[in-house]
Structure 1
Amino acid sequence: MAVLAVAAACGKGGSEPSETADQGSEVHQAVAPQTVGASHILIAYQGAQRSTATRTRDEALQLAQDIHDMLASGSIHFPDAAMRYSDCPSGANGGDLGVFGRGAMVAEFENAAFSLEVGEISDVVETPFGYHIIMRTQ
């Protein structure tokens, strides 16, 4: 993806599974997902990485919050909002980024995407590329 580059220096590998013992003394491993599917809406601002946007950081934040409010109220659906508002080329595909693993996105984006449940929409997340609203799809 042109806007969200693989950031090996920012992304860490997957965490080690944690072990917990149940009442029967069997050991189970809690395994965090190693891949997720996500869509996003990027609201870039002047000075953000790879941005040609002319809006200020404050204007971008306000727009991202307004879009988030519209999504929360159901007045717009995520793919439509991505097509209308996103500064990322993925907006043309409803914001779809496909499936990616840990370490493929910058840390702030990755942490938000991996913390969501399928179908859940994140709060506004800032990365060096601008403000994102992320929806986990897988």
Structure 2
Amino acid sequence: MPVDPSETGLPPNWEVRHSQSKNLPYYFNHAEKTSRWEPPAGTDPEKLKVYMAKYHSDTLVETPAGQPGKIRAAHLLVKHRDSRRPSSWKEAEITRTKEEAEEILKGYEKRIKAREISLGELAMSESDCSSARKRGDLGYFGRGDMQKEFEDAAFALDVGEMSPIVSTASGFHLIERLQ
């Protein structure tokens, strides 16, 4: 049942659905029968942010611990115009520079270190990754599942520890090891 576009901020014929296989929300155009992970052009990012926080922020499904060689981490991603996919659930086209993206993430890092807000809380509204709905939680992953720079940083962390800023082809990340 499509939701009123004035609530979601999505253009006509678009709605938010939930992927059972990835446990993540995605965008579906019921007129064209097409889907995508990033919001379509013409989306109102502020309305979408409010809608997603209200209806899609607690969809995390726990995976049992004890998977050999796998860790669980969350992250906060800030993309820039040179990212491999310069769009996100918040913005159809990301135009900020690399330097601007890094400065934004430095500000988030400062707030997290000051214990003003947690990485997970901040990820829900500010991360450019679709994992934002799950407080940045990427679930369990092993070696070879992520980009090398991300993986190396995540595997080097102790549980509960946060990485310094990590640059990958996707953008800039702060990573928190969960398990």
- Unmatched 5+ stretches in structure 2: 1-21, 23-36, 39-67, 88-93
Q: Is 1:37 aligned with 2:72?
A: yes
Q: Is 1:62 aligned with 2:103?
A: yes
The match for 2:132 is 91
Output the TM-score relative to the length of structure 1.
0.75
Output the TM-score relative to the length of structure 2.
0.58
The match for 1:49 is 84
The match for 1:136 is 177
Q: Is 1:71 aligned with 2:112?
A: yes
Higher relative contact order (CA 8 A, sep 6+): 1
- Unmatched 5+ stretches in structure 1: 4-32
Partner SS for 2:113: helix
* Identity percentage of aligned residues: 40
Alpha-carbon distance, 1:117 to partner: 0.3
Alpha-carbon distance, 1:54 to partner: 1.4
* Aligned-residue RMSD, C-alpha: 1.6
What number of residue pairs does the alignment pair up? 109
